[in-house]
Amino acid sequence: MKVKLALIALGALALTGCSKLTKENYDKLEMGMTQDEVESILGSADNCGKTMGTTACTWGSEDEKHVKIVFMGDKAVTFTYDGLK
């Protein structure tokens, strides 16, 4: 049982260490990038919503570290982040 718990903990730690949600990756983002280009850097968005011709996507959790990007016409127009290292 202890071995299974250790393996689960190790697997969770490995997945956390592979996060693309870093300040270094955020700094690679540029205005005008498409959502596909952004996702090639940050991975798939955790949440997206459409409003009046824009798409707002969030990577990560708003309660913790996250990146928010608004796309207009499939081009990034605003970027914000919090908690990145």
**Structure tokens given for 82:** 């919090």
Lowest pLDDT segment from 12-16, 19-23, 69-73, 75-79: 12-16
Tens of pLDDT, residue by residue over 13-56, are 444 446 899 999 999 999 999 999 999 999 999 999 999 999 99
Which residue(s) pair with 71 in the sheet? 55, 76
Better-scored residue on pLDDT, 85 or 22: 22
Task: Tell me the fold of 23-82.
Answer: Beta-lactamase Inhibitory Protein; Chain:B, domain 1 (3.30.1450)
What's the pLDDT at 62?
A: 84
Q: Is the dihedral of CA 44, 47, 51, 54 positive or negative?
A: negative
Q: What is the pLDDT of residue 16?
A: 44
